[in-house]
Amino acid sequence: MLARPGVLVAAACILLVSAYCVRPTPGNPPGLHRDEASIAYNAWTISHHLRDQNGALVPVFFVSVGDYKSPLFVYALAGLFRITGPSKTAALELGATAVLAAILLLGLLAWRRTRSIGVATATIVLGGLTPWLYELGRTFWETTMFPLALVAILLVTDWAYHATRPFLVRAPATGLALGALAYVYAGGRLLAVLYAAALLVFAGRDRWRWLLGTWAAFAVSLIPMIAYSERHPEFVTARWNDTTFVKPGMSAFAIVKEAAWNYVQDVSLWHWIVSGDPKPHIHSWGAGQLYASVVVLAAIGTVIVLRRHRHDPWWRFVIVVTLLGPVPAALTNDRHHALRLLPIPVFLLVLAAPGLELVFRHLRTQATARLVAGALTVGVALQFVWALHWFDVRGPARGVFFEADVPTLLDQAFASSNTIYIDYDDLGALSHAWWYAASHHLPPASVVRLPDGGIPPPGSTVFGRLQSCDYQCEELARVDETYWLAKAIGPNPS
């Protein structure tokens, strides 16, 4: 245990990192992606009517922009909107808070495993400054709760493994943590099943009742998802078909071979140190998303675990889930997708704890430990400045991806008309227009979703994305070559 001055320094470091993680960054990212707009609007409708944008009562998943959004973040945001009203700022702060909560729990986990306030504080500082996690906290995708769900599983399994409480208390907690992972993100559904199987590393004469109880609780948590998929069969295949490289007729050998190569590419830590996700989902390209110092500490920690803790089932579980984390991403056709590969930074930070413990243990007595600590600190500082520079420089330039000019187009639309019309299946345009109306406190009737094949009244204002009018219209404005504003003239001549 550190002396009192050390405890005060640790508290100051944690407060500073927490403030950094939740600090507002207006205009960076520069707008809202249509998926974020859809999440925000669904949260607002749930907060008011317990129905989603399509009228479904307390849905298990949210149909939006041609996809199925996972529910946990949407319902959490609905609760916040019940207090704040529809607000982009509130949604962004919830995203940042969810990421910060995961980082603080990583620190708690490091403390439980090492009983060192220094290790716990260093874990929180490294996690809070890691660009991969920090940039995630600048958005409010459904994925912002992914790290929190991952850390919750590790914490609950650590508690359940050491707790003396009856298995009827420990098993439901572990099963529900796995269930939460299944409801937090599309990739989490497969990952939750894989992690449930990974619990076999705990198998032992005195733990079988806990394992079976955990699997039973996990199975019960999946009942709403299974029932939902029965009513909506396309739920099972829609996301899979849109993202996977697997095509009908591919042999099992070909699938395994390509998935293995994808896995190797995705877990290339050098790539994450020097560059990162090539798409601007969260990353403002130009700097790495992962610290080399964290990778070094995780490598040291892995060696320590394999040599000193190989008989500890919990550390075996950490190794297994770390290796399984990139599997769902390897089955997709996008490489280095930062949102799908969030297990990488989370589990590397967990594995870094034994490495940090080794450094702290010898810090006062060995010059080598002080040299290593100094080199790792300098490495983090240099990468932090590098990443923050590119975040500030290139982050605001992601306007096209985050559709930053759409609100300006909608300003123009509502300035000239009290009502705008949108085609029935133009889901991206609908999401933006619905959220704009809600956040600007306009009546719901100000956005009219035309029936399938419907034609807006002559002279009315029409808003759309990509597809052109299937009636006569005069285009008034266009942004990003995708979203447009038009004036309806009438049906096409026969």
Whether residue 362 is contained in a domain is answered as yes
Contact 146, 310 (CB under 8 A): no
Instruction: Tell me what pLDDT residue 64 has.
Output: 81
Whether residue 192 is contained in a domain is answered as yes
* CB within 8 Å of 410: residues ≥ 6 apart: 420, 432, 433, 436, 463
* CA–CA gap between residue 341 and residue 429 (Å, rounded): 29
**Among candidates 40, 53, 42, 44, which has minimal Cα distance to 422?**
53
Instruction: Tell me what pLDDT residue 453 has.
Output: 85
The range of the structural domain enclosing residue 453 comes to 406-490
* CA–CA gap between residue 337 and residue 279 (Å, rounded): 8
Residue 329 sits in the same domain as residue 429: no
Whether residue 400 is contained in a domain is answered as no
DSSP 116-177: -HHHHHHHHHHHHH-HHHHHHTTS--GGGGHHHHHHHHHHHHHHHHH--S-HHHHHHHHHHH
Residue 354 sits in the same domain as residue 486: no
CB neighbour class for 387 (10 Å; exposed up to 12, middle 13-18, buried from 19): buried
Using left for φ > 0, alpha for ψ between -120 and 50, and beta otherwise, residue 475 falls in beta
Residue 167 sits in the same domain as residue 94: yes
Residue 286 sits in the same domain as residue 426: no
Whether residue 398 is contained in a domain is answered as no
**Tokens standing for 342?**
């969030």
| Cα-based distances in Å from 48 to 61, 74, 208, 392, 427 | 17, 13, 45, 36, 22
Residue 388 has a CB neighbour count (10 Å cut-off) of 16
Whether residue 96 is contained in a domain is answered as yes
User: Domain total for the chain?
Assistant: 2
Whether residue 54 is contained in a domain is answered as yes
DSSP state of 456: P
Mean pLDDT by 10 residues, the chain (494 residues): 74 96 93 94 96 93 86 97 96 97 98 95 98 96 96 96 77 95 94 97 83 95 95 82 88 95 97 94 89 97 94 95 97 94 98 96 85 94 95 92 94 93 93 96 94 91 89 91 91 73
Residue 22 sits in the same domain as residue 107: yes
Instruction: Tell me what pLDDT residue 1 has.
Output: 46
Residue 433 sits in the same domain as residue 366: no
Contact 450, 422 (CB under 8 A): yes
Residue 74 sits in the same domain as residue 223: yes
Q: Would you call 489 helix, strand, or coil by DSSP?
A: strand
Residue 181 sits in the same domain as residue 275: yes
Whether residue 442 is contained in a domain is answered as yes
Question: Of 390, 416, 442, at which residue does a domain stop?
Answer: 390
Whether residue 111 is contained in a domain is answered as yes
Instruction: Tell me what pLDDT residue 491 has.
Output: 85
Amino acid letter, 312:
D
Residue 442 sits in the same domain as residue 336: no
Instruction: Tell me what pLDDT residue 465 has.
Output: 93
Residue 304 sits in the same domain as residue 198: yes
Question: Of 356, 390, 424, at which residue does a domain stop?
Answer: 390
Residue 71 sits in the same domain as residue 180: yes
Contact 171, 210 (CB under 8 A): yes
Contact 179, 222 (CB under 8 A): yes
Residue 332 sits in the same domain as residue 447: no
* CA–CA gap between residue 62 and residue 42 (Å, rounded): 8
